[in-house]
Structures are given as C-alpha cells and as structure tokens.
Amino acid sequence: MFWFVTLLLVQFAAIACLANAKLFLVGLLAIPETLILVIWSYIDAFLCARKSDARLLFSKRWPRYAVGFLLLFSTPFVSPWALASEWLANHLKDRYVEGFVMSGQSMMPGLVPRDRFVIHKQAAWGRWNLVVFHHPDYENQNIILRVVGLPGERIEISEGKLLIDDELAEMPESVGEYISYRYHSQQHVYLDGQWGAGCNGNPITLGENEYYLLGDNSRIARDSRLWETPVGNHQLGALPRENIKGTVTAIYWPPDRVRSLR
C-alpha cells in the first residue's frame, strides 16, 4: 500500500507540473521515478505473496504464475485507474500540453529536425515567442513560427532590418537577419512578382487579434511574408489569434537538446 500511495502522489505531482508551463521540465523528472515505482510495486507484491500463508490459486506454481502475468498485462486495459489515466492524458492534451516533432528547417538553429518539443495551451504569448498554429496554406499540418508583430503594429522588413511602427526592432541573439522576398506564385498569378506581406514597400498594419509570424531560418521559411491564402476575413500575411494552438515551452528530446524555450 505504501508504494501504491507513493506512486499516486508522484503522478499527481507530475500532472500538476505538466499543467504549468514554467514547471514542465520538472514534471518530466517524474517519468523515470514513476517507472521505478511501478516496477518496485510489482516486485513488492510478489514478495508479499511469497511470504503469505493464505491459500493461493492452484496447487502448482506455474499455473499461478500464468494467471498472475495475465492479470498483470491486462491491467492497463481493464482497470478503472488505467481508464482514468487515459481520460486524464487526453484532458491534458486537449487543455494544457501537447507534444510535437520538428520536421523542417524553418526554425534552425533554435529548433532542428527531429527535435521533440511541447506546447502549452494556457500560456500567454508575446513577441519572440514560438507558437504552433494552423494555416490554410498548409492544409491540416501543424506549423511552428516565431511571433514578431502584435495587434495594431505596422511591420516592414527593409534591407534586412525589421521595422516595427517604423522603428528598428532589437531582435534576440538567436534570430538572424530577416529577408524580404517576392511572391513566386503559380496558384495566385496576381501575386507573382509582388513584394511579400511586410516586405520592402509593402508594410502590413495588423488589426485586432492579428499576428505577424516569421521563421528564424529566413532564407527558407514560408511565413507571413509569403502566405498566399488569407485566413477568413483577415488580411494576407496576418494570422488570427484563434488559429494559434499554443506556445512552445520546452524541447524534451533528444537528451542533449533538452531546454526551456520560455
């Protein structure tokens, strides 16, 4: 009973940490502890059964072991705690944290291909935060970019410099020079050859709940500068708040890449 109660306390503490954007990496420490406690609970139950004088199933040892292993491996599928854990995991994913794998190079060097990271869906975001979102240019894909422009701001990239409300922006050290690009569009011919949204001579003034997003690897990122489809009734190059799924909070795999991104 002691080990079972300890296991529950560790799991509840981990859940509380996972639901808090600032404590997510602390919550990850509970994973190996939980595994150790589960294994030790099984060993402890086995040792207690060996010491017991109570009559056990069957007179022979191997049938008892067979039934024991059957019960052990069926527990994750039929026990109330397993069902509750599944519900809780889905609740955490829907309301708080969700994991993703970086597949492209648009956010290098901050995020590299095969980095596994998490977003927090309750954490607020601001300028320079990384967010995951949906955009019609990408169909049903989850995209990650950096928030650069906020509602009401005028954004323009000119000669490699980022201007916010006509003032030079001080960018984080991890962010390189942003590049102005022209559209090379076959689907929307009227855009072909024009400067992208927020690029030289084509500034974008963001409306209410509109954001301007850029990739750190500016030479290859397909971001607000080059989106060809507006979202709903919003202007081309702007992403509405409701399309943002959450804020990227941490890289959790591989081990040498583990870090907080808040």
User: Region 84-106: what's the mean pLDDT?
Assistant: 80
Identify whether the C-beta of residue 230 lies closer than 8 Å to the C-beta of residue 236: yes
Q: Which of 28-42, 68-82, 166-180, 202-216 has the lowest mean pLDDT?
A: 68-82
Residue 75 in this model has a pLDDT that exceeds 70? no
- Do 130 and 213 lie in one domain? The reply is yes
Total number of domains in the chain: 2
Domain limit, last residue, from 75, 95, 115:
95
CA distance 241 to 197: 18
- Do 135 and 189 lie in one domain? The reply is yes
CA distance 88 to 84: 6
Identify whether the C-beta of residue 163 lies closer than 8 Å to the C-beta of residue 200: no
Task: List pLDDT tens digits, range 203-260.
Answer: 999 999 999 999 999 999 999 999 999 999 999 999 999 999 999 999 988 989 998 8
- Do 51 and 101 lie in one domain? The reply is no
Identify whether the C-beta of residue 146 lies closer than 8 Å to the C-beta of residue 215: yes
Query: Could you tell me how far CA 146 lies from the centroid of its own chain?
Result: 13
The token pair that represents 61 in the structure block: 């040892």
- Do 26 and 82 lie in one domain? The reply is yes
- β-strands 244-253, 116-120: how paired? antiparallel
- Do 152 and 202 lie in one domain? The reply is yes
Q: Which residues contact 193 (CB under 8 A, 6 or more apart)?
A: 182, 183
- Do 186 and 69 lie in one domain? The reply is no
The token pair that represents 129 in the structure block: 């935060």
CA distance 100 to 139: 17
- Do 60 and 24 lie in one domain? The reply is yes
Q: Which of 90-94, 122-126, 146-150, 201-205 has the lowest mean pLDDT?
A: 90-94
Residue 20 in this model has a pLDDT that exceeds 70? no
- Do 75 and 162 lie in one domain? The reply is no
Residue-level pLDDT at 239: 97
Cα dist. 236→74, 148, 198 in Å?
Answer: 53, 16, 10
- Do 128 and 77 lie in one domain? The reply is no
Domain limit, last residue, from 60, 95, 130:
95
- Do 242 and 115 lie in one domain? The reply is yes
3-class DSSP state of 84: helix
- Do 103 and 144 lie in one domain? The reply is yes
Residue-level pLDDT at 9: 66
Residue-level pLDDT at 60: 65
Identify whether the C-beta of residue 98 lies closer than 8 Å to the C-beta of residue 121: yes
Q: Integer distance in angstroms from the first to the last C-alpha of the chain? A: 39
Percentage of residues in the chain having pLDDT higher than 70: 68
- Do 73 and 102 lie in one domain? The reply is no
Domain limit, last residue, from 38, 68, 95:
95
Mark residue 201 as left, alpha or beta (left: phi above 0; alpha: psi -120 to 50; beta: remaining).
left
Domain that includes residue 87, residue range: 2-95
What CATH number should be reported for the domain holding residue 239?
Answer: 2.10.109.10
